[in-house]
């Protein structure tokens, strides 16, 4: 039995559930992770990533010294360097001075629009607040975004448009108080495993009825009363048909609609044509299932909706999310315990990074950048001269790289993201990366994107730093250092402050905005003083248990569910509905629909989980397909196949899967040697600018075993 030197209480670095972890440390080494049975979010439960997936911090692949590329990179000719021989170890002073010199040079030559930054939903609120502040206050640029754009952007836009607030309305664990809940476009058991446990308990122990609306037969279908297996990209038609049934059958909550909404009449007219028959034709879902689902949800006492990427990652992402909002507004299933509109946020701190202003249209606290009063408030907070901050909405993640050309974005700063794995159409993304004049990567690994950088700044992992994460149900929780920083790595917030001071000096505005923070707590205070929803959150108050914002003052107990009286927009708004099919339907040449997503054991581009023991649990990419399709293409279970789209191709092993539906194949996004995003399409939702990751047309053909282990591809990761 090992006796720990200490046990550090912190928050899981993987998903938005935000489980409480206890890191057991001996000799500065984390040897075990547990969770206390009374943890508010997870009651002692952890999934495989939280319990076993932390060893990436000790990976030999981790880079813990600042590095500069040996050869000067030229725009249009930038190359990827996975081999550490192509890099030179330097001191922090050299790396930061060089970074400051180049950023300032480009700013002074080409102005604010030439700079852009990707913030990081893995890093803390404090890290993100500081990085967006650096770009806004020093470089006067709102080209600030992060992976939320690739994630819930459609949901955020829809919720802001209709209700004026984009966060999850209720607490996830309230699902046990629902008598009926819809899970759609969320593979909850793999991606929010602890919330899935609560959903299963709601069904098995509390008798709730579950309606799953998803093209794949995900595990939750085993718990569902109804499963609506729709074709990818047909959400709008199915949700509108459910609304149609609710209206036609007199199941509308008239009082709620009259008191709390507007736009109903026009909306009702626009969904006349969305009969269950029409929706069946479009989506392939039996009309009777649509009718039953509508009745079941509308007649519930407390109905709730949980959703994920199958809603937002479509060119109709905003419209899909609006379809769900309409259902809640029609039935009044919002503003009470066990109800609500619940977009399950993905990354451990994507909610927090968004709250902290890592977005191109908003300062911290969702204060719009093109609003004069907001700009003035932040100018005062940051000691920037009146009129100094840019009032222009910045570029989104999905626009920043496509603006990488002379006259556009010249310098990009990436803190903890991996666009060369996670953005659509990687062959095009690579060209954009190559066009950059200057690229900085601040990460714990040199990932597929960092390999293109000029400078690598080694950050500490979550286990080596202090701060806060905000989970999917708006709970601000503590992150604490368990071990000393590995090598020369430094916490993100310290790197940013050190760099900001150097930039200030070069710009001739020393200490204008104040960069001499001594602790993350001080940073949090500065943010919470102006971003009012966090005003009452202090480190002392969240020492043991996190607080759910809004927390308007220091005596406020936090807010488990929103909208009990009204919406921030006043009344909830209905919009007229139009169904537009996916951008790239299947045809003779590309006869299958590809949908991409996640596996329980892995995380996005794989930097963390593929450098962990977890990789041994699931070492290889597999294409899931239905037995009918396998038979049609002469594919055996386990045989190598080439999957190709109009944009690229990959070779993977085929897996005949009970989850698959005929005509739809699924490829996980985690494997560099078979990167799903080589295939995906870069078409965007017009309003939210989120890509259509969930549907494009592909073909498959039998490949050779040797092609699976193509050394040219495998070495590109630098891990093999």
Question: Which residue, 174 or 417, has its beta carbon nearer to ligand MGD?
Answer: 417
Question: Which residue, 149 or 217, has its beta carbon nearer to Mo ion?
Answer: 149
Burial class of 51 by CB neighbour count within 10 A (0 to 12, 13 to 18, 19+): middle
Where does this chain touch ligand MGD (CB under 6 A) — which range of 117-125, 198-206, 645-653, 710-718? 117-125
- Beta carbons within 8 Å of 468's beta carbon, 6+ residues apart: 124, 125, 126, 352, 476, 477, 478, 479, 520, 524, 539, 542
Query: Cis omega before residue 550 (within 30°)?
Result: yes
From the list ligand MGD, ligand SF4, Mo ion, none, which binds 123 (C-beta under 5 to 8 Å, kind-based)?
ligand MGD
Q: Is 676 in the site for ligand MGD (CB under 6 A)?
A: yes
Rg of the chain over Cα atoms, rounded to whole angstroms, equals 25
Residue 448 to residue 611: CA distance in whole angstroms: 13
- Give me the least distance between CB of 690 and Mo ion, in Å please: 10
Q: Are 160 and 166 in contact (CB under 8 A)?
A: yes
Q: Are 604 and 669 in contact (CB under 8 A)?
A: yes
Phi and psi, residue 459, nearest 5°: -90, 160
Reduce the secondary structure of 575-608 to three states and give it as a string.
Answer: CCCCCCCCCCCCCCCCCEEEEEECCCCCCCCCCC
- Give me the least distance between CB of 613 and ligand MGD, in Å please: 15
| DSSP string for 634-682 | TPPTT-EEEEE-SS-EEEEEEEE-TT--TTEEEEES--GGG-GGGTS--
Task: Using CB under 6 A, pick the residue from 141, 173, 347, 398 that binds ligand MGD.
Answer: 347
Buried/exposed code over 210-240 (b: 16+ C-beta within 10 A; e: otherwise): bbbbbbbbbbbbebbebbbbbbbbbbbbbbb
Q: Is 470 in the site for ligand MGD (CB under 6 A)?
A: no
From the list Mo ion, ligand SF4, ligand MGD, none, which binds 12 (C-beta under 5 to 8 Å, kind-based)?
ligand SF4
Question: Which residue, 20 or 132, has its beta carbon nearer to ligand SF4?
Answer: 20
From the list ligand SF4, Mo ion, ligand MGD, none, which binds 459 (C-beta under 5 to 8 Å, kind-based)?
ligand MGD
Draw the binding track, 48-67, toward ligand SF4 (x: CB under 6 A; -: no contact).
-xx-----------------
> Beta partners for 625?
656
Q: Is 191 in the site for ligand MGD (CB under 6 A)?
A: yes
Residue nearest to ligand SF4 (CB): 50
From the list ligand MGD, Mo ion, ligand SF4, none, which binds 447 (C-beta under 5 to 8 Å, kind-based)?
ligand MGD
From the list ligand SF4, Mo ion, ligand MGD, none, which binds 235 (C-beta under 5 to 8 Å, kind-based)?
ligand MGD
Residue 339 to residue 239: CA distance in whole angstroms: 17
Q: Is 476 in the site for ligand SF4 (CB under 6 A)?
A: no
Distances (CA, A) of 446 to 102, 261, 264, 463: 20, 49, 52, 19
Half-sphere exposure of 406 (CA within 13 A, CB side): 3
* Residue list 184-203, contact with ligand SF4 (CB under 6 A): 193-194
Q: Is 478 in the site for ligand MGD (CB under 6 A)?
A: no
Residue 532 to residue 711: CA distance in whole angstroms: 53
**Count of other CB atoms within 10 angstroms of residue 653:** 17
Q: Is 170 in the site for ligand MGD (CB under 6 A)?
A: no
Where does this chain touch ligand MGD (CB under 6 A) — which range of 37-45, 86-94, 180-188, 398-406? 180-188
From the list ligand MGD, ligand SF4, Mo ion, none, which binds 313 (C-beta under 5 to 8 Å, kind-based)?
ligand MGD
Q: Are 170 and 337 in contact (CB under 8 A)?
A: yes
Q: Is 338 in the site for ligand SF4 (CB under 6 A)?
A: no
**Count of other CB atoms within 10 angstroms of residue 83:** 11
Distances (CA, A) of 718 to 56, 65, 88, 90, 484: 15, 17, 16, 21, 26
Residue 135 to residue 451: CA distance in whole angstroms: 23
Where does this chain touch ligand MGD (CB under 6 A) — which range of 71-79, 265-273, 298-306, 675-683? 675-683
- Give me the least distance between CB of 375 and ligand MGD, in Å please: 28
* Residue list 213-232, contact with ligand MGD (CB under 6 A): 213-216, 218, 230, 232
Count of residues of this chain found to bind ligand MGD when the rule CB under 6 A is applied: 62
Draw the binding track, 649-668, toward Mo ion (x: CB under 5 A; -: no contact).
--------------------
- Give me the least distance between CB of 356 and ligand MGD, in Å please: 14
Question: Which residue, 346 or 364, has its beta carbon nearer to ligand MGD?
Answer: 346
Question: Which residue, 17 or 652, has its beta carbon nearer to ligand SF4?
Answer: 17
Question: Which residue, 52 or 92, has its beta carbon nearer to ligand SF4?
Answer: 52
> Is the Cα torsion angle 136, 142, 148, 150 positive or negative in sign?
negative
Give CA torsion, residues 434, 435, 439, 441, to 10 deg.
-40
Burial class of 410 by CB neighbour count within 10 A (0 to 12, 13 to 18, 19+): buried
Where does this chain touch ligand MGD (CB under 6 A) — which range of 248-256, 260-268, 590-598, 612-620? 590-598
Question: Which residue, 189 or 429, has its beta carbon nearer to ligand SF4?
Answer: 189
Q: Is 680 in the site for ligand MGD (CB under 6 A)?
A: yes
Draw the binding track, 363-402, toward ligand MGD (x: CB under 6 A; -: no contact).
----------------------------------------
Question: Which residue, 190 or 437, has its beta carbon nearer to Mo ion?
Answer: 190
Q: Is 533 in the site for ligand MGD (CB under 6 A)?
A: no
- Give me the least distance between CB of 50 and ligand MGD, in Å please: 10
Where does this chain touch ligand MGD (CB under 6 A) — which range of 22-30, 120-128, 398-406, 426-434? 120-128
Count of residues of this chain found to bind Mo ion when the rule CB under 5 A is applied: 2
* Residue list 665-684, contact with ligand SF4 (CB under 6 A): none
Question: Which residue, 332 or 346, has its beta carbon nearer to ligand MGD?
Answer: 346
Residue 604 to residue 347: CA distance in whole angstroms: 10
Query: Cis omega before residue 204 (within 30°)?
Result: no
Q: Is 614 in the site for ligand MGD (CB under 6 A)?
A: no
Q: Is 546 in the site for ligand SF4 (CB under 6 A)?
A: no
CA angle 175, 176, 177 (to 5 degrees): 85
Q: Is 183 in the site for ligand SF4 (CB under 6 A)?
A: no
Q: Is 417 in the site for ligand MGD (CB under 6 A)?
A: yes
CA angle 269, 270, 272 (to 5 degrees): 65
> Beta partners for 547?
476
In terms of DSSP bridges, do strands 547-548 and 475-479 run parallel, antiparallel, or are they unpaired? antiparallel
Q: Is 478 in the site for ligand SF4 (CB under 6 A)?
A: no
**Count of other CB atoms within 10 angstroms of residue 92:** 17
Residue 464 to residue 452: CA distance in whole angstroms: 26
Binding site for ligand MGD (CB under 6 A): 15, 120-123, 147, 150-151, 184-187, 190-191, 213-216, 218, 230, 232-233, 235, 308-311, 313, 346-347, 415-419, 422, 442-445, 447, 459, 461-462, 492, 595-598, 600, 602-605, 607-608, 669, 676-677, 680, 693-694
Binding site for ligand SF4 (CB under 6 A): 12, 14-15, 17-19, 42, 46-47, 49-50, 193-194
């Amino acid at each position: 039995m090992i006796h720990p030197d200490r046990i550090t209480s912190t928050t899981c670095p993987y998903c938005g559930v935000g489980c409480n972890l206890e890191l057991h440390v001996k000799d500065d080494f984390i040897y075990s992770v547990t969770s206390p049975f009374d943890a508010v979010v997870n009651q002692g439960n952890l999934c495989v990533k939280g319990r076993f997936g932390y060893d990436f911090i000790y990976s030999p692949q981790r880079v813990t010294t600042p590095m500069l590329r040996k050869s000067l990179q030229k725009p249009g000719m930038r190359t990827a360097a996975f081999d550490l021989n192509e890099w030179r170890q330097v001191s922090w002073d050299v790396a930061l001075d060089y970074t400051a010199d180049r950023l300032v040079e480009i700013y002074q030559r080409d102005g604010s629009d030439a700079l852009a930054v990707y913030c990081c939903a893995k890093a803390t609120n404090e890290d993100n607040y500081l990085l967006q502040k650096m770009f806004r206050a020093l470089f006067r640029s709102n080209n600030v975004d992060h992976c939320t754009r690739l994630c819930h952007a459609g949901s955020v836009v829809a919720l802001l448009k209709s209700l004026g607030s984009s966060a999850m309305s209720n607490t996830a664990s309230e699902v046990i108080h629902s008598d009926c809940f819809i899970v759609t476009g969320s593979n909850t058991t793999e991606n929010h495993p602890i919330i899935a446990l609560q959903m299963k308990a709601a069904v098995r122990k509390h008798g709730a009825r579950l309606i799953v609306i998803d093209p794949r037969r995900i595990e939750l279908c085993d718990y569902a009363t109804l499963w609506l297996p729709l074709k990818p990209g047909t959400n709008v038609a199915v949700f509108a048909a459910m609304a149609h049934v609710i209206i036609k059958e007199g199941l509308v909550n008239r009082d709620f609609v009259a008191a709390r909404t507007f736009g109903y009449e026009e909306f009702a007219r626009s969904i006349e044509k969305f009969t269950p028959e029409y929706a069946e034709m479009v989506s392939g879902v039996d009309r009777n299932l649509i009718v039953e689902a509508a009745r079941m949800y509308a007649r519930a006492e407390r109905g709730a909706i949980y959703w994920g990427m199958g809603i937002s990652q479509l060119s109709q992402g905003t419209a899909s999310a609006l379809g769900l909002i309409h259902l809640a507004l029609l039935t009044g299933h919002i503003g009470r315990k066990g109800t609500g509109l619940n977009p399950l946020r993905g990354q451990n701190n994507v909610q927090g990074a968004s709250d902290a202003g890592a977005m191109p249209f908003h300062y911290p606290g969702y204060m719009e950048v093109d609003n004069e009063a907001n700009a003035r408030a932040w100018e005062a907070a940051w000691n920037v001269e009146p009129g100094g901050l840019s009032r222009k909405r910045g570029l989104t993640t999905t626009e920043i790289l496509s603006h990488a050309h002379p006259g556009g974005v010249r310098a990009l700063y990436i803190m903890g993201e991996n666009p060369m794995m996670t953005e659509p159409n990687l062959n095009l993304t690579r060209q954009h990366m190559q066009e950059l004049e200057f690229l900085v990567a601040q990460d714990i690994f040199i990932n597929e994107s960092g390999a293109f950088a000029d400078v690598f700044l080694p950050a500490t992992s979550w286990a080596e730093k202090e701060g806060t994460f905000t989970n999917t149900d708006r709970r601000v929780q503590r992150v604490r250092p368990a071990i000393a920083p590995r090598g020369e790595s430094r916490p993100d917030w310290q790197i940013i402050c050190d760099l900001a001071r150097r930039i200030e000096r070069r710009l001739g505005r020393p200490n204008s905005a104040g960069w001499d923070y001594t602790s993350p707590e001080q940073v949090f205070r500065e943010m919470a003083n102006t971003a009012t929803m966090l005003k009452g959150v202090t480190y002392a108050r969240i020492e043991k248990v996190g607080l759910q914002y809004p927390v308007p003052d220091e005596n406020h107990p936090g807010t488990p569910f929103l909208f009990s009286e009204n919406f921030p927009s006043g009344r909830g708004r209905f919009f007229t509905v139009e169904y537009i099919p996916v951008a790239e339907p299947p045809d003779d040449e590309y006869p299958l629909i590809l949908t991409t997503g996640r596996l329980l054991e892995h995380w996005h581009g794989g930097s963390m989980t593929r450098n962990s023991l977890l990789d041994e649990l699931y070492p290889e990419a597999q294409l899931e397909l239905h037995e009918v399709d396998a038979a049609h293409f002469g594919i055996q279970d386990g045989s190598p196949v080439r999957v190709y789209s109009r944009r690229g191709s990959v070779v993977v092993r085929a897996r005949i899967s009970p989850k698959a539906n005929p005509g739809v194949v699924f490829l996980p996004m985690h494997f560099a040697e078979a990167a799903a995003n080589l295939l995906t399409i870069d078409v965007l939702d017009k309003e939210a600018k989120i890509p259509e990751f969930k549907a494009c047309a592909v073909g498959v053909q039998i490949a050779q075993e040797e092609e699976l282990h193509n050394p040219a591809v495998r070495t590109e990761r630098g891990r093999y």
